[in-house]
Amino acid sequence: MQLACLLAVMLVSGIAELVSLTAVLPFLAVLSDPSGLFKFQIVGSLSAFLGINSAEDLVIPFTLLFAIASVLSAGIRLLNLWLNARLAAAIGSDLSCEAYKRTLYQPYLVHQQRNSSTVIANATTEIAATVLSLNGLLQLCTSAIVSIGLLIALLVIDLPVALTVAILFGGAYALMAVFSKRRLSTNGNKIVIASDRRLRALQEGLGAIRDVLIDGSQSTYLDVYRSADFSQRQFQAKNQLLGAFPKYVLECLGLIALALLGGVFLRSKGNELSVIPLLGALALGAQRLLPALQQIYSSWSTLKACHTAMESVLGMLKQPMPTSLRKPIPLALKNEIIFKNLSFRYSLNSPLVLDDFNLRISAGERIGLIGITGSGKSTVLDLLMALLEPTSGSLLVDGQNIYKPTQPQRPQDWRASIAHVPQSIYLADCSIAENIAFGVPFELIDIDRVKNAADKAQISKFIESGENGYRALVGERGVRLSGGQRQRIGIARALYKKSTVLVLDEATSALDGETEKSVIEAIDALGKNLTVIMIAHRLSTLANCDRVICLEKGRIISDGPPSNVLPQKL
């Protein structure tokens, strides 16, 4: 609907330009030779109807007619410009939201294999460039229609001159387009690469700011940022020049052509009074036609320069989406989880991380996983949480295969029943309550449930002793909290979820021994309705587990009570 309305306004804009330009001819004629207009029958009939008896009385009506035509033409052009920007912004918002949506719904393995700075650059800089291109495309269409209207008016005024102007200026812009095409595309590609490098330097420098300050390595990150930023802005400046320089060249050419036309008209027509209206109309036509042609060229150059950015955005929009986007229904664990002959590798050419892996976990058990780095502990957890899909074999929950082709929503349903506490807790720059009830809209947060979870995570006393309590802000990534406090908020977040499975991946590593003991006791007190699987390098953390499983090179080498397994590793 918006597009149809815009196209209609574009057509009206072209017609308005045609009318306003053709209106200038009688206006200039009445200024230079009013009596000459009475020779035209239509002017004589109209003058008699309006009661105009002298040629001088024609000046005011024709001036008003010309002024009204000019105002209407300008108003329609402004309306068209506003509609162009509005539609491009609306389409850009839709593209941005759709790209972000598709990115969020990608499998965990995809997120592991790509750099977040590239994703952020695509979702911000490249989307902005695409919106600029869309706006340029709409302006190109508008300018093309306006140019056609102006050219028709010039053809009506003087056919040979109009054809000469069209061939001269149109050909000049075509030659410049051929000349700059390759450079615009190359520069656009380099802008995208530099933008990605700049954002990566920004993320890495700020993300590791403590180490940067300690090491005094500010200059290293600044040099990378400066190099990328300078390159990006230089290539942007080159593309701006390539898009704008024809305007100045052809303005000069147009003035020269106008002077030559004046001389030709005077020699051929011999009457300067008849030449002035014609020359004035052609001058005004050229004055309007040149900006329209320049807008066409400039919009085309924007499209060429942003081609790489648009390809990046299209790549994001082509990301596959799940077949169903319904709200997940938690698949509560009732009996057991079984890894059945499960194997996994991260890519076709990489070695197997798990090979024919078999494990049974009963509901309500406390399971500890140990093993050296690279033994497969984290991969087992990722498979358990359905973040990774097995290369072969099955993950069964209460006898149901989580990855059943006819039940594509089942992995998400299973994840909805799991609470996960990683070693590094992500905290949003909002209140403590919002971080504990992570992902829940503020107005839907159950504050009593938040307090209960905080109490079990041994963090409630600290929160409630603060001035703002649960409304206190944690700062970006929890910068205002200690490592142990962040860890306990992460545990409270998991407990708030009231899941049937709790996964702790080095979740207590930042806690002191006494606090860790209290947290583990609080988790144990939740009863056998909660199944807990934990990884810990501090082996004392696993002392109260029902079973401890030791992994080596993706295989189970020991499985039994802590008293049988842990002493071998102490």
Every domain of the chain and the residues it spans: 2-317, 336-568
> Quick one: average pLDDT of 410-425?
86
pLDDT per residue as tens digits for the range 252-265: 666 566 556 555 55
> Quick one: average pLDDT of 380-401?
91
- Measured at the CA of 249, the angle between CA 247 and CA 254, to 5 degrees, comes to 90
Domains 2-317 and 336-568 share a fold: no
pLDDT more than 90, % of the chain: 8
What's 2-317's CATH class? mainly alpha
- How far apart CA 89 and CA 128 sit, in angstroms, is 10
pLDDT per residue as tens digits for the range 277-311: 555 555 556 666 777 777 777 888 888 888 788 88
Give the model's confidence band at 394: pLDDT under 50 very low, under 70 low, under 90 confident, else very high: very high
- pLDDT value, residue 122: 77
Q: What are the structure tokens assigned to 162, written together?
A: 């109009």
| Mean pLDDT computed over every residue of the chain | 77
| Phi, psi values for residue 421, rounded to 5° | -120, 105
- Measured at the CA of 356, the angle between CA 355 and CA 361, to 5 degrees, comes to 110
Lowest average pLDDT, out of 68-82, 194-208, 240-254, goes to 240-254
Is the confidence at residue 200, as pLDDT, over 50?
yes
Is the confidence at residue 337, as pLDDT, over 90?
yes
- pLDDT value, residue 288: 66
Is the confidence at residue 339, as pLDDT, over 90?
yes
| Phi, psi values for residue 262, rounded to 5° | -60, -45
Q: Report the SS3 class of residue 445.
A: coil
- pLDDT value, residue 569: 46
Is the confidence at residue 422, as pLDDT, over 70?
yes
- pLDDT value, residue 238: 81
Positions of E strands within 285-434: 336-344, 354-362, 366-370, 392-397, 400-401, 418-421
On whether the CB atoms of residues 191 and 236 are closer than 8 A, the answer is yes
- Measured at the CA of 83, the angle between CA 150 and CA 181, to 5 degrees, comes to 65
On whether the CB atoms of residues 98 and 325 are closer than 8 A, the answer is no
- pLDDT value, residue 33: 55
- How far apart CA 307 and CA 292 sit, in angstroms, is 23
Residues forming beta bridges with residue 366, ordered by sequence position:
532
pLDDT per residue as tens digits for the range 23-52: 555 555 555 555 555 554 555 555 555 555
- pLDDT value, residue 273: 47
For residue 124, the Cα-to-chain-centroid distance in whole angstroms is: 4
Residues constituting the chain: 570
Sign for the CA dihedral angle at 273, 277, 278, 279 comes to positive
- pLDDT value, residue 570: 43
CB-count exposure of residue 147 (10 Å: 0-12, 13-18, 19+): buried
Give the model's confidence band at 56: pLDDT under 50 very low, under 70 low, under 90 confident, else very high: low
Q: Is 3.40.50.300 the CATH classification of the domain at 336-568?
A: yes
Lowest average pLDDT, out of 51-65, 152-166, 295-309, goes to 51-65
On whether the CB atoms of residues 302 and 133 are closer than 8 A, the answer is yes
Alpha-helix runs per DSSP H in 158-217: 159-207, 209-215
Give the model's confidence band at 338: pLDDT under 50 very low, under 70 low, under 90 confident, else very high: very high
Give the 3-state secondary structure percentages of the chain, helix then strand then coil, rounded to 5: 65, 10, 25
Q: What are the structure tokens assigned to 541, written together?
A: 């953390």
Lowest average pLDDT, out of 25-34, 387-396, 526-535, goes to 25-34
